[in-house]
Chains A and B, each alone.
Chain A
Amino acid sequence: MGAIAAHIGGRLATALPVLIGATLIAFLLGVIAPGDPAREALSQGGGLEPSIEQLAAMREQLGLDAPLPVQYAAWLGRVVQGDFGQSYITRQPVAEELLRRLPVTLQLATWAVFIAAFFGIGGGMVMGYFHGGAIDHAGRVFSLALLSIPGFWLAILLILVFAEILQVLPTSGYGTWQQMILPAVVLSSSTAAMLMRLSRAVMLEVMSQPYIITARAKGLSEPVIVVRHALRNMLIPLVTVIGNHAGEIFGGAIVVEVIFALPGLGRLAVSGIFQRDYPVIQGYVLVAAFVYIAFNLLIDLLYTLIHPQIRFGGGIK
């Protein structure tokens, strides 16, 4: 068990610099953003145009005259304490708004990851098992088509078919599981397609391994061979790829949330952009980076659980 701790510890050690890098980029986004935070702070409540003296005083109060590294340190200190600044528009703390919306995006992304993993890996296994056959060819064309369709267009098409014509699912909104189906399916589509193609290749690779011959020679049935012997070995490379793809899903959530009117982080970020609400954009980037890194650590933990060699400290390869 110490081996897992060591492995995760190593991953944390590499994740930390990435997290710091993310905060640095988020900070720089605030620096290059047009607009003057001091003016924004003073025009709170929409009063008179602040005087030059007032601006200078506020600038000093906010530490905007200090050199950038000092500003960064101060800003980072506030971020670590959960102070992400105030929205220019609502005057509310950004962190609260982000925290309110995070569960929506997480729920959407989790659904999407599971749908993608289920259909992607399942489809890829079927394709790989019957490689060269009609199912395989159809699957390859289908997955390539799915990779080529714009997600936002697929979303509108699905709304047209399922909500308008068939009227079996709601068009948009948040709250019920029915409202999650279409957004999650759209969000999962490209990851599912990618996983289908990858799983097919991994399935072919695994099924040609000598231990599959051993399993067949024991007289095991094909379903047992595929599920017990092949799938577990396939998950080792696939799980890592799912982790890498979490960024695509989290980013794709922006479009999906806008189209399906889900009150998530992505929609907040888009409205933040249009309203030039820079603290909100900064906060969004920070949360996105944090979630992405955390998800990949989770994937690492999962990886150690399915990979006995790491669990028992044998090292890889």
Chain B
Amino acid sequence: MKAMAIGVLAAIAMASLAAPWIAPFDPNALDIANRLAEFGPTHPLGTDHLGRDELSRLLHGGRSTILLAVIATAATLGVGIVFGAVSGYFGGKVDHAIQSLVLLFQGLPRISFMLAIAGVMGPGPFTLFIAVVVTSWADFARIVRAETLKIREEPYIEAVRALGASPGYVMTFYVVPNLIGPMVVLFTVEIGRMILAIAALSFLGLGLQPPTADWGIMISDSRPYFRSAPLLMIAPGLCIAITTFAINLLGDSLRDRLDTRMDGHPVVL
């Protein structure tokens, strides 16, 4: 399963990266005369309502969403690591202050605030990025804090501290490297959700903007024609679903490896 997931993700990544070279057409080249064309030798998957080549748009369609999801998740993770590690490592007043903030942000309905922040700042990828980081960092910070608390109790941290290392040194070279394992899992698990959230907001017109060849926008564009040309709606959705499914499969196997409790059922003796 895991090998399959990695294979699928590699294929999607390659196709997305190579899209400008392997796509038969410019994804934004209009050909109104040929709109909503069926499959054929020129357009293997037909064309959309503006006569744009469906296959070319599908190949390009993952680039923006996946890139934005990776950047946004990484940035959120970064903010979460800074706040979480500082909170967990130093404890005391700093911890208390950060935890109050975390509690506040966790107590708010995330998607509603994401939408509102992106909406007030005006639709677009950058505002979406900001909205995502602002509304999602708290979850990460809480998990990082818990992990940091665990690491802080390790004997080797005590040993390094006893040698007179500064808190910054211990954090950078001992605490953060030990956070990498759990963070990789967290990153993988979150990025699937992030792709879905970005696609949904792009679908609503609040994320990536037309005429970008994007799976979410393509579904939105093809909605009026979903009876006559259902493939235009089904194909990009399948692309999103397959990408997210592969990521989730991978995240699952990573999580199982790090956290055996999830699946460990004790033998009844």
Q: Give the chain B neighbours of A15 by CB distance below 8 A.
A: 107
Q: How many interface residues does A have (CB within 8 Å)?
A: 58
Q: Give Cα A171–Cα B107 distance, bound, in whole angstroms.
A: 35
Q: Give Cα A83–Cα B155 distance, bound, in whole angstroms.
A: 57
Q: Give the chain A neighbours of B110 by CB distance below 8 A.
A: 247-248, 251
B 231-250 to A, binary, CB cutoff 8 A, 1 in contact else 0: 00110010011101101110
**A273 with B123: in contact, given A145-B245, A248-B110 (CB under 8 Å)?**
yes
Asked whether, in the complex, the Cβ of B244 is within 8 Å of the Cβ of A148, the reply is yes
Our count of residue pairs bridging A and B at CB distance below 8 angstroms stands at 159
Q: Which residue of B lies closest to A269 (CB)?
A: B115
Q: A130: CB under 8 A from chain B?
A: no
Q: A153: CB under 8 A from chain B?
A: yes
CB distance from A275 to the nearest CB of B (A): 10
Q: A103: CB under 8 A from chain B?
A: no
23 A-B pairs whose Cβ atoms sit less than 8 Å apart in the complex: A18-B104, A21-B107, A26-B116, A29-B117, A32-B121, A34-B122, A144-B248, A150-B216, A151-B200, A153-B237, A160-B226, A247-B111, A248-B110, A254-B111, A255-B200, A255-B203, A255-B204, A270-B204, A273-B115, A285-B113, A291-B109, A292-B107, A293-B107
Q: B266: CB under 8 A from chain A?
A: yes
Contact of A273 among B100, B108, B206 (CB under 8 A): B206
Q: A231: CB under 8 A from chain B?
A: no
Q: B172: CB under 8 A from chain A?
A: no
Q: Which of A236-251 contact B (CB under 8 A)?
A: 246-248, 250-251
**A152 with B219: in contact, given A144-B252, A157-B237 (CB under 8 Å)?**
yes
Q: Give the chain A neighbours of B123 by CB distance below 8 A.
A: 273
Q: Which residue of A lies closest to B220 (CB)?
A: A152
Residue picked from A150, A151, A272, most chain B C-beta under 10 Å: A150
Q: Which of A245-303 contact B (CB under 8 A)?
A: 246-248, 250-252, 254-255, 258, 269-270, 272-274, 278, 281-282, 284-285, 288-289, 291-293, 296
Asked whether, in the complex, the Cβ of B219 is within 8 Å of the Cβ of A289, the reply is no
Asked whether, in the complex, the Cβ of B248 is within 8 Å of the Cβ of A148, the reply is yes
Q: Give Cα A6–Cα B232 distance, bound, in whole angstroms.
A: 57
**A150 with B199: in contact, given A247-B108, A251-B115 (CB under 8 Å)?**
yes
Q: Give Cα A281–Cα B114 distance, bound, in whole angstroms.
A: 11
Asked whether, in the complex, the Cβ of B248 is within 8 Å of the Cβ of A147, the reply is yes
Residue picked from A153, A156, A289, most chain B C-beta under 10 Å: A153
B 33-52 to A, binary, CB cutoff 8 A, 1 in contact else 0: 00000000000000000000
B 187-203 to A, binary, CB cutoff 8 A, 1 in contact else 0: 00000100010011001
Residue picked from A131, A148, A213, most chain B C-beta under 10 Å: A148
Q: Which of B175-223 contact A (CB under 8 A)?
A: 192, 196, 199-200, 203-206, 216, 219, 223
Q: Give Cα A15–Cα B108 distance, bound, in whole angstroms.
A: 10
Q: Give Cα A248–Cα B200 distance, bound, in whole angstroms.
A: 13
Q: Give the chain A neighbours of B166 by CB distance below 8 A.
A: none
CB distance from B103 to the nearest CB of A (A): 7
Q: Give Cα A131–Cα B117 distance, bound, in whole angstroms.
A: 43
